[in-house]
Amino acid sequence: MSDEVSGFVLAKNRGEKQAVAMTVDGKDVDLAMTVSLDAKVEFITKKDRKALEIFRHTTAHIMAQAIKELWPSAQLAIGPVIENGFYYDVSCEHQFVPADFEQIERKMRDIIKANYKITRQDISKSEALEMFAGDRFKTELITDLDVESVSIYSHDDKFTDLCRGPHLPSTGAASTHFKIMKIAGAYWRGDSKREMLQRIYATSWLSKEDLDEYLHNLEEAEKRDHRRIAKEMDLFHMQEEAPGCIFWHPKGWTMYNTLKDYIRKCILKDGYVEVCTPQLVDRSLWEASGHWDKYRENMFIAESEGRMMAVKPMNCPGAIQIFKQGIKSYRDLPLRLAEFGYCHRNEPSGSLYGTMRVRGFTQDDAHIFCTPDQINSETKKFCKLLSKIYNDLGFNSFSVKFSDRPAKRTGSDEIWDQAERLLQEATTEAGLSYSLNKGEGAFYGPKLEFALKDKLGREWQCGTLQVDFQLPVRLGAYYTAEDGEKRHPIMLHRAVLGSLERFIGILLENYAGRLPLWLAPVQIVVATITNSFDEYAQKVYDRLKQVGIRAELDLRAEKISYKIRNHVMAKVPVIAIIGANEVDKHEVTLRYPNGDQVTVPLDESVDLISNKCREPEV
C-alpha cells in the first residue's frame, strides 16, 4: 500500500465534503497534491477565511482566460487577490471601458459552466522561459525569480498562467457571484518609468447575499464619502497649489479643535505633559536617528546658508532632544511627552485621497520614556486610554495586530527577542487578543496596530504602540538608574487617533456627517418662518450662545421649508424653528434630522440642548 495519498482521497476518507484546498505541514496546497500519510494535514473548507481567497484567486484566472479568449492579443501581467476581490493587469491594444464588463462576465460564466479541470505543473525555469517566450511580463517575472523551478496552472488545454496557487480543483467549482467593478491605470511593477497597463478590478463572493451586501455597502460608502460630506458641511477644501494639504474652513477648524481639545483633556488627565518640537530640523539629526536612510525619499528638503534641513516626517527625534535636557533619574520615569505634531511626508501624488492620505497632517503623538519593567504597566495604561477614547467617539470594538521584526531593521536579534516578548506579555496582560502581522514592525521595534470597524463593517487602522530599544541609544538618551549607573530608557511611541485629519474623515464617513452633538461644528440653527419673528429668534440665539452652544441664526427671507432643507443637507443636528406660536408662548420648536419635532419652553430648550452638547466625561 502506498504511503502517499491525494488530498481528494484524504478529504473523502475524512468526510470533508466542503474542502477546497488543504494546509500540509503549514503550507497551503491544492487538493490534487499527494501527501504523506504521516503529514500534518488540515483542510480548508468554505467556512474558512482562507477559502474565499482561494475562490477569488481562481476567479481571477477565469477572468484572465475570458479576456484572452475575447482579445487574443492581450498580454497578462499579474492578478493578485486583494481585499474584497482581485484585479488583473493587462496590456492590450483594446482600451477597456465599462461597456466591456458584461461581455467579460458572460465569458467567465461560460468558462465556469465548462468546468475545466485545473491542474498544477512544476517545471524548470528554462522550460518556463520557453513556454512564455512570447510574453514579456511572464519572462521578466520568471527571470527575476531566485528559484530552480516554477509552478504553472492550466484550465485543461484552454488557458495556462504562471502562479504559486493554490487553486480550486476546476473552474466549475468557482462561485458565480462576482462582478467586474472598474478599470484603472497601473505602471508595470509600480515603476512610473515602465509601461502603463490597464488594471481590471473585480469582486467575488461565495453567496449572492454576500455580493449584494458588499455592493450595497459600496453604494452607501459613496454616499458617505467624507469629501462629499465636507463640501455639504463646508468643512474644508483642497487644491492643486497645495497638494495633499488641507484648507480648513471655520466649521471644519471648529470640529478639528473640538476633537483635539477633547484628546488633550484625556491625555493630561492620564499623566502626560504636552510639548512641541520644531518643524525644520538639520539633516544631521535625521542621519543620527536612522530616518535619513529609511525615509529620505519621503522627506521634504530645504536648504539655508549651506545647511540641508528636512521638514519633520515624524516627531520622535525631537521628543528625545527634550528628554535629554537636564539629568533624568529612574524616579522621573515613566515620562510621557505628548505632542500634536504637524508632520509632512512626500506621498506619491497618485495616492493622495481627501483627508485619508495627505502630505501634511497632525499626529496625536506621544513618546513614553520608561524602564524595561515599566513596559507592561504602560502598555496596559495606554490600552485603557485608547479604549475609552474610541468608545467616546462611537467605536465600541477594535482589533489588534502584533507586528514583529521586518527584514530591514536595526539592532541585534537579542534586543528584538526581548522587545517582542515584553510587548506580547503586556498585550496579553491588558486582556487583548491579537493576530500576528508578520514582518510589519517598525525598523526599530515591534508594534501593536489598533483597527476600528465602522458602521459599514470597514476596518481602519488608527492607533499604534511601538516598543523602541534603538532610538534612545542612537541619539544618546540616558537616565541614572537606582544603582547609580547610566542607562538608556526604553521609548514607547504611541498614537490613539493616528492622524487627526484622517480620523476626521473616518468620523464623517462613520456617522454619514450626522456627528454626535458635542462634536458637530454647528450644533443648532435658529431659523424663522418669516422676518416678523426675527427679534425673538435673536433672543433665542443669544441665550444659546451664552451657555456655550455653537449656534447660528438664519434670518433669511426664504421659506422655512427651504431653510430646513439647507440645514438638513449641511448635517446640522438641531433646527430651532421660530413662528407665531413660539413667540406668543415663549417657546421653541426643535426639529431633529429624522423629522421629529418637539415644542418646549425657551428655558427648557436651552437646558435640553446644553445637556446634549456636553462632551464625554474625561
Active site residues: 316, 345, 363, 365, 367, 447, 493
d(CA 365, CA 32): 51
- Number of DSSP helices (H) and strands (E) in the chain, helices first: 19, 33
Residue 191's contacts (CB-CB under 8 Å, 6 or more residues apart) are none
∠ CA 447-449-451 to the nearest 5 degrees?
175
d(CA 357, CA 579): 46
- DSSP annotation string for 326-356: S--BGGG-SEEEEEEEEEE----GGG-BTTT
The one-letter amino acid at 372: P
* Cβ proximity of 274 and 338 under 8 Å: yes
Q: Please report which helix (H) or strand (E) contains residue 86, including its range.
A: strand 85-91
Residues present in the chain in total: 618
- Identify the bridge partners of residue 308 per DSSP, sorted by sequence position: 303
d(CA 361, CA 340): 10
Neighbouring C-beta atoms of residue 170, cutoff 10 Å: 17
In the block, residue with C-alpha cell 458641511 = 233
3-state secondary structure of 38: coil
C-alpha closest to that of 198 among 110, 109, 107, 67? 67
- Identify the bridge partners of residue 273 per DSSP, sorted by sequence position: 337
∠ CA 507-509-511 to the nearest 5 degrees?
65
The string over 305-327, giving b where at least 16 C-beta atoms fall within 10 Å of a residue's C-beta and e elsewhere, is eeeebbbbbbbbbbbbebbeeee
d(CA 327, CA 9): 71
Q: Is the peptide bond before 166 cis (omega within 30 degrees of 0)?
A: yes
φ, ψ dihedrals at 17, nearest 5°: -70, -20
* Cβ proximity of 175 and 195 under 8 Å: no
CA of residue 440 relative to chain centroid, distance: 15
Cα distance from N-terminal residue to C-terminal residue, the chain = 71
Neighbouring C-beta atoms of residue 485, cutoff 10 Å: 9
In the block, residue with C-alpha cell 522587545 = 419
Grid cell digits, residue 45: 473548507
In the block, residue with C-alpha cell 487577490 = 81
| Alpha helix segments (H runs only) across 393-520 | 413-429, 471-474, 500-510
Q: What is the maximum alpha-carbon separation in the chain?
A: 99
